[in-house]
Amino acid sequence: MRGKGLTLALAVCLLLTLPAGVWAQPKMLALDGTLWKTLPQGEKMAYITGMGNMASFETAMGGAGRAACISKAFVDELKDKTIDRIVTEVDAFYQHQPDKLKTPVIEVVLRRCTALCPPEIGAPEKSK
């Protein structure tokens, strides 16, 4: 029970730390480098923490062998990285590739901090 309360508290903190402009968005916000560059370090850390908490929850609720690919990447591959290190890697991606500011933060985290998840069986692979 204590874990659920902590997760809820962290989620509320994450929501309260988002800039006011985020709340005015007419549709679901995909946080990308344009907004990421403007966030203070604490808000970046809160965002990464929130993604990790969601992944941990989804993995725990899914049971053995049923976790979604994205959750599996966060839980298994990011467990040895500090939040600050992940934020630094995301910052570096946008700094060194300013033409990719529209790339969603979650995509940057998965591509820079984890191995990509394998494609689903039967899903068409992207041509290279």
User: Is 63 within a domain?
Assistant: yes
User: Is 120 within a domain?
Assistant: no
User: Is 109 within a domain?
Assistant: yes
pTM: 0.61
User: Is 25 within a domain?
Assistant: no
User: Is 40 within a domain?
Assistant: yes
Total domains present in the chain:
1
User: Is 125 within a domain?
Assistant: no
DSSP of 30-83, one letter per residue? --BHHHHTTS-HHHHHHHHHHHHHHHHHHHHHH-TT---HHHHIIIIISTTS-H
User: Is 119 within a domain?
Assistant: no
Determine the structural domain holding residue 82 and report its residue range. Answer: 2-18+31-113
Q: What is the pLDDT along the chain (128 residues), one digit of tens a residue?
A: 455 555 555 555 555 555 555 545 556 567 889 999 999 999 999 999 988 888 888 777 776 666 566 677 777 878 888 889 989 999 999 999 999 999 888 888 877 777 654 434 444 444 43
User: Is 76 within a domain?
Assistant: yes
